Amino acid sequence: MADTDLEQELKTIALQEEKLQFERFDATTAFDIGTRIKALAEKRGVAVAIDIQLHGWPLFYYAMPGTTPNNADWIRRKRNTVMRFHKSSYAIGLQMKQQKTTLAERYGVNPGDYVAAGGGFPLKLRDTGCVGTITVSGLSQKEDHELVVEVLAGFLGQAR
């Protein structure tokens, strides 16, 4: 990815994170979003694991047939990254690429606990900030990210 493409992608993600915020979020909302992600993945014939947490409280988890326990570990690491930086794990990965470094080098975090790969998205309440995560694993990092964004945009009535 060229530097100008990278910069544009980071701007796009920042706009997504700004627009895709909730006024309120609860277990019913998590279930609705989780089942929408599952349905879209099924429609596309792909297998993903889906995790939605609010304040560290698991509200939704589903591992589609074709995923493995490895996907659960990727989710954990992506979720940790989102909760540390309050940004999507895809944005963090692109920032590390742009800076030609890694999370471990830049922040001293354990790669076994954090990963700069797409699929983790911050669950933000408007006027409050990041209160949780919506995370997908099973596709390429960009596809994981885009799956979450597409469902959130539809749910919130926003353009992607």
Give residue-wise pLDDT tens across range 121-152: 999 999 999 999 999 999 999 999 999 999 99
Domain residue limits at 95: 3-156
Number of domains in the chain: 1
Q: Provide the pLDDT for residue 159.
A: 73
Residues 6+ positions from 1 with CB-CB distance below 8 Å: 9, 94, 97
- Quote the CA–CA distance of 75 and 57 in Å, as a whole number: 14
Q: Provide the pLDDT for residue 4.
A: 84
Tell me the mean pLDDT in the region 22-42.
98
pLDDT at position 27 over 90? yes
- Quote the CA–CA distance of 54 and 21 in Å, as a whole number: 14
Q: Measuring CA to CA, which residue among 96, 40, 84, 34 is closest to residue 59? A: 34
- Quote the CA–CA distance of 129 and 27 in Å, as a whole number: 18
Q: CA dist 45 to 1, 65, 151, Å?
A: 27, 11, 16
CATH number at residue 79: 3.30.450.150
Residue whose entry in the numeric block shows the structure tokens 């609705």: 32
pTM beyond 0.85: the answer is yes
